[in-house]
């Protein structure tokens, strides 16, 4: 079988030749003596037009095929310079591999994204999701390519962990204990020493702390894997299971970190614009008008920079526009983030130096003793897409933060060791992979860029 993608790439090799193509029927149109089938084989965004005639002994059967049926077509590929598509196949044989039924949910009409969410197993057959998941795959490849070209080591950090990397307590517990007969301690608490690992464990919220240990051995590393957060926020940009890319660089500070993040995002944008032009045009036309121009501009201009304190000054002056009033010390809400990046900068912007009390324990304390060397990258349409920081590399200061935040020292001994044995300046960040896919495709809901999304009250398939 020849792939449709191959036909589009090297059409001159196939015009005039007899070939076979297998795919699923998008539509059938027939008249008395001939008909047309639009065939999609999944190898590219384009479809193949099939022309068939009543010379075929199964002509009547073919004309009655339902949308979604799988067929193998054999015939000559003929150039059609006048038509919308550059060629069509004139079938001399059509073999039905699998029939579909008239109830097939994806009839030839526009379906809402909400409806398609109810059939996550079939939606990848639609144009929108073909484009989304092809681009998702490309972005993930581009990310690996970017880091590998820079000699970063890809580290597989564990999914089951015994510590809380963010110290935010938003974890999914992992347990083998029988819920109905959970052993209790004398104080009546769950006795986790009976559990599989002999202690309490959870799904990872971030691979960062493990990643840092490898950065202290390899200098530059990155992780790229699934992470889990039991945040009870039902928004268009939060998922309970999402993928994160976490580079960690040694002998580097916050500025180096921001440069890396900016280079990475530009590299990904350029890669996708170059390698998925059909899909990107589709998004530009049907999902988010202006997407292409915007991305091209982002790829060629400098990102904005502002400190948290400066940002708060701007936001406070505009507090009448916000549901949640901004003040120094508050965590930036999505409405604030979007105001800064959409109204003030109109491009991606790094917000730096947040108050220590709203950030994680591992961030490096600034000299003012109030703020930390943190950076979030905000982008129009989404808000935060990256969160990162320079790390506290001073043993005593780190220990103090662990205590102040009420974390258990013994959980972080390995992390403190990194500060005991050859501690160096280092920094890193986490890119939310799905938010990156949303940003590049213009899709407005995180549920539509994850093959099988997990959100509050939803864990289907
Ligand atoms: O800002 P966060 O929480 O940072 C960390 O986890 C650090 N350990 C990263 C690091 O410095 N190595 O998360 C990083 C990014 C966010 O900016 C966001 O894009 C994404 O992960 N993210 C989510 N994406 C989807 N659903 C959620 N519930 C997310 N929570 C965070
Ligand atoms: Mg964050």
Please give the ipTM for the structure prediction: 0.99
CA gap 282, 323 in Å, rounded: 35
- Which residue is closest in CA terms to ligand 1's atom 27? 238
Q: Which of 334, 435, 450 for mutating ligand 1's site (highest number of atoms within 8 Å of CB)?
A: 435
Q: What percent of the chain has pLDDT over 70?
A: 100
pLDDT at residue 434, rounded to an integer: 98
60 band by pLDDT with thresholds 50, 70 and 90: very high
Nearest listed ligand to the Cα of residue 386: 1
Model confidence at 273: pLDDT above 90: yes
pLDDT at residue 417, rounded to an integer: 97
- Which residue is closest in CA terms to ligand 1's atom 28? 238
The residue that leads in pLDDT, 187 or 156, is 156
Pick the closest to residue 244 from 414, 437, 453 (CA basis).
437
Model confidence at 190: pLDDT above 90: no
pLDDT at residue 188, rounded to an integer: 85
Q: What mean pLDDT comes out for the span 77-101? A: 96
pLDDT at residue 441, rounded to an integer: 98
pLDDT at residue 387, rounded to an integer: 98
Model confidence at 114: pLDDT above 80: yes
Q: What mean pLDDT comes out for the span 103-127? A: 94
Mean pLDDT for all residues in the chain: 95
CA of 377, closest atom in ligand 1: 17
Residue 336 Cβ inside 6 Å of ligand 1? The answer reads no
180 band by pLDDT with thresholds 50, 70 and 90: confident
Model confidence at 165: pLDDT above 80: no
Residue 212 Cβ inside 6 Å of ligand 1? The answer reads no
Model confidence at 344: pLDDT above 80: yes
Q: Which of 242, 248, 453 for mutating ligand 1's site (highest number of atoms within 8 Å of CB)?
A: 242
439 band by pLDDT with thresholds 50, 70 and 90: very high
Q: Is 90 exposed, middle or buried (0-12, 13-18, 19+ CB in 10 A)?
A: middle
- Which residue is closest in CA terms to ligand 1's atom 9? 430
- Which residue is closest in CA terms to ligand 1's atom 20? 432
Model confidence at 460: pLDDT above 80: yes
Residue 254 Cβ inside 6 Å of ligand 1? The answer reads no
142 band by pLDDT with thresholds 50, 70 and 90: very high
pLDDT at residue 31, rounded to an integer: 86
Q: What mean pLDDT comes out for the span 20-34? A: 95
| pLDDT per residue as tens digits for the range 348-392 | 999 999 999 999 999 999 999 999 999 999 999 999 999 999 999
Residue 225 Cβ inside 6 Å of ligand 1? The answer reads no
Nearest listed ligand to the Cα of residue 377: 1
How far does residue 147's CA lie from ligand 1's centre (Å)?
A: 19
Residue 206 Cβ inside 6 Å of ligand 1? The answer reads yes
Nearest listed ligand to the Cα of residue 237: 1
How far does residue 331's CA lie from ligand 1's centre (Å)?
A: 14
Structure tokens that stand for 42 in this block: 């999944």
pLDDT at residue 97, rounded to an integer: 97
């Amino acid at each position: 079988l020849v792939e449709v993608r191959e036909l589009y790439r090297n059409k001159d090799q196939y015009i005039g030749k007899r070939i076979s193509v297998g795919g699923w029927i998008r539509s059938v149109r027939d008249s008395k003596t001939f008909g047309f089938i639009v065939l999609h084989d999944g190898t590219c965004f384009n479809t193949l037009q099939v022309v068939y005639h009543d010379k075929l002994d199964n002509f009547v059967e073919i004309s009655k095929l339902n949308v979604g049926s799988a067929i193998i077509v054999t015939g000559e590929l003929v150039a059609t310079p006048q038509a919308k598509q550059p060629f069509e196949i004139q079938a001399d044989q059509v073999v039905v591999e699998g029939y579909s039924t008239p109830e097939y949910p994806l009839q030839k009409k526009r379906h809402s994204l909400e409806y398609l969410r109810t059939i996550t197993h079939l939606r990848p057959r639609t144009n929108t999701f073909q484009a989304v998941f092809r681009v998702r795959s490309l972005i993930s490849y581009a990310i690996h390519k970017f880091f590998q070209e820079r000699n970063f080591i890809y580290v597989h950090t564990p999914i089951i962990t015994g510590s809380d990397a963010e110290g935010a307590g938003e974890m999914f517990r992992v347990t083998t204990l029988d819920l109905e007969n959970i052993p209790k301690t004398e104080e009546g608490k769950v006795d986790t020493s009976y559990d599989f690992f002999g202690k309490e464990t959870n799904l990872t919220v971030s691979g960062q702390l493990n990643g840092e240990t490898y950065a202290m051995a390899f200098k530059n590393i990155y992780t790229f894997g699934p992470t889990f957060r039991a945040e009870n926020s039902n928004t268009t940009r939060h998922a309970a299971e999402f993928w994160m890319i976490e580079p960690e660089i040694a002998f580097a500070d916050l500025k180096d970190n921001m440069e890396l993040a900016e280079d990475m995002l530009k590299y990904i944008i350029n890669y996708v614009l170059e390698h998925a032009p059909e899909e990107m045009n589709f998004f530009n036309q049907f999902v988010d008008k202006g997407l292409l121009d915007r991305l091209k501009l982002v790829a060629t201009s400098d990102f904005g920079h502002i400190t948290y304190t400066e940002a708060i000054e701007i936001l406070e002056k505009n507090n009448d526009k916000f549901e949640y009033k901004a003040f120094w010390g508050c965590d930036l809400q999505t409405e604030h983030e979007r105001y800064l990046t959409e109204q003030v900068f109109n491009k991606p912007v790094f917000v730096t130096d947040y108050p220590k009390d709203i950030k994680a324990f591992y961030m490096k304390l600034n000299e003012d003793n109030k703020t930390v060397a943190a950076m979030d990258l905000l982008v129009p349409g989404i808000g935060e897409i990256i969160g990162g920081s320079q790390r506290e590399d001073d043993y005593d200061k780190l220990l103090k933060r662990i205590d102040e935040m009420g974390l258990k020292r013994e959980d972080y001994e390995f992390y403190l060791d990194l500060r005991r044995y050859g501690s160096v300046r280092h920094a890193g960040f986490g890119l939310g992979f799905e938010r990156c896919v949303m940003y590049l495709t213009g899709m407005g809901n995180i549920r539509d860029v994850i093959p099988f999304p997990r959100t509050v009250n939803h864990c289907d398939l």
